[in-house]
Amino acid sequence: MPHMRASYVSSIQVEHFHKSVRFHWMICSAQDPDRLVSWGHAPSRDLAEAAVQDEIKDLLSGRTPGGRVSGTKKVIIHHR
Protein backbone atom coordinates (compact mmCIF):
# COMPACT_ATOMS: atom_id res chain seq x y z
CA MET A 1 0.00 0.00 0.00
CA PRO A 2 2.85 2.56 0.56
CA HIS A 3 3.53 2.79 -3.19
CA MET A 4 -0.13 3.67 -3.76
CA ARG A 5 0.23 6.85 -1.66
CA ALA A 6 2.11 8.23 -4.65
CA SER A 7 -1.26 8.17 -6.44
CA TYR A 8 -2.15 11.42 -4.67
CA VAL A 9 -0.49 14.78 -4.10
CA SER A 10 -1.63 16.99 -1.22
CA SER A 11 -1.12 20.61 -0.27
CA ILE A 12 -2.14 22.82 2.63
CA GLN A 13 -2.49 26.60 2.43
CA VAL A 14 -3.32 29.24 5.02
CA GLU A 15 -6.51 31.09 4.17
CA HIS A 16 -7.67 34.28 5.89
CA PHE A 17 -11.27 33.74 6.94
CA HIS A 18 -13.22 36.56 8.58
CA LYS A 19 -11.03 37.72 11.49
CA SER A 20 -9.03 34.51 11.80
CA VAL A 21 -7.30 31.95 9.60
CA ARG A 22 -8.10 28.44 8.52
CA PHE A 23 -6.06 25.86 6.69
CA HIS A 24 -7.35 24.86 3.27
CA TRP A 25 -6.15 21.47 2.02
CA MET A 26 -6.37 19.80 -1.37
CA ILE A 27 -5.70 16.30 -2.66
CA CYS A 28 -5.06 15.86 -6.38
CA SER A 29 -4.33 12.86 -8.57
CA ALA A 30 -0.59 12.36 -9.09
CA GLN A 31 -1.16 11.22 -12.68
CA ASP A 32 -3.23 14.34 -13.44
CA PRO A 33 -2.36 17.10 -10.93
CA ASP A 34 -5.11 19.31 -12.37
CA ARG A 35 -7.69 16.73 -11.23
CA LEU A 36 -8.92 17.76 -7.79
CA VAL A 37 -9.94 14.63 -5.89
CA SER A 38 -10.81 16.02 -2.47
CA TRP A 39 -10.54 19.22 -0.48
CA GLY A 40 -11.54 20.79 2.79
CA HIS A 41 -10.50 23.12 5.54
CA ALA A 42 -9.69 22.93 9.21
CA PRO A 43 -9.11 25.45 12.00
CA SER A 44 -5.47 24.38 12.55
CA ARG A 45 -2.60 22.98 10.51
CA ASP A 46 -2.48 19.84 12.67
CA LEU A 47 -6.15 19.11 12.00
CA ALA A 48 -5.67 19.79 8.28
CA GLU A 49 -2.72 17.37 8.13
CA ALA A 50 -4.73 14.73 10.00
CA ALA A 51 -7.68 15.22 7.65
CA VAL A 52 -5.42 14.80 4.60
CA GLN A 53 -3.93 11.56 5.98
CA ASP A 54 -7.37 10.18 6.89
CA GLU A 55 -8.77 11.12 3.50
CA ILE A 56 -5.87 9.52 1.59
CA LYS A 57 -6.31 6.36 3.68
CA ASP A 58 -10.04 6.34 2.85
CA LEU A 59 -9.38 6.96 -0.85
CA LEU A 60 -6.85 4.13 -1.02
CA SER A 61 -9.15 1.70 0.76
CA GLY A 62 -12.15 2.60 -1.38
CA ARG A 63 -14.21 3.79 1.59
CA THR A 64 -14.49 7.25 0.02
CA PRO A 65 -15.84 6.96 -3.51
CA GLY A 66 -16.76 10.64 -3.82
CA GLY A 67 -19.42 13.10 -2.81
CA ARG A 68 -19.51 15.25 0.28
CA VAL A 69 -18.34 13.72 3.54
CA SER A 70 -19.09 15.38 6.86
CA GLY A 71 -15.99 15.69 8.98
CA THR A 72 -15.35 15.87 12.69
CA LYS A 73 -13.84 18.65 14.78
CA LYS A 74 -15.09 21.21 12.25
CA VAL A 75 -12.98 19.69 9.47
CA ILE A 76 -14.85 19.93 6.19
CA ILE A 77 -14.14 17.48 3.35
CA HIS A 78 -15.35 17.80 -0.22
CA HIS A 79 -14.90 15.35 -3.09
CA ARG A 80 -14.91 16.00 -6.75
**Backbone φ, ψ for residue 50 (5° rounding):** -65, -40
pLDDT tens for each residue of 30-39: 888 888 888 8
Distances in Å between the Cα of 38 and the Cα atoms of 1, 9, 18, 20, 64 are: 19, 11, 23, 23, 10
Confidence of residue 12 (pLDDT cuts 50, 70, 90): very high
Least-confidence region, from 4-8, 42-46, 57-61: 4-8
Q: Where are the alpha helices (DSSP H) in the chain?
A: 45-61
The per-residue b/e assignment along 58-76, b for 16 or more CB within 10 angstroms, e otherwise, is bbeeeebeeeebebeeebb
Tell me the pTM.
Answer: 0.74
Per-residue pLDDT tens over the stretch 47-72: 999 999 999 888 888 877 543 444 44
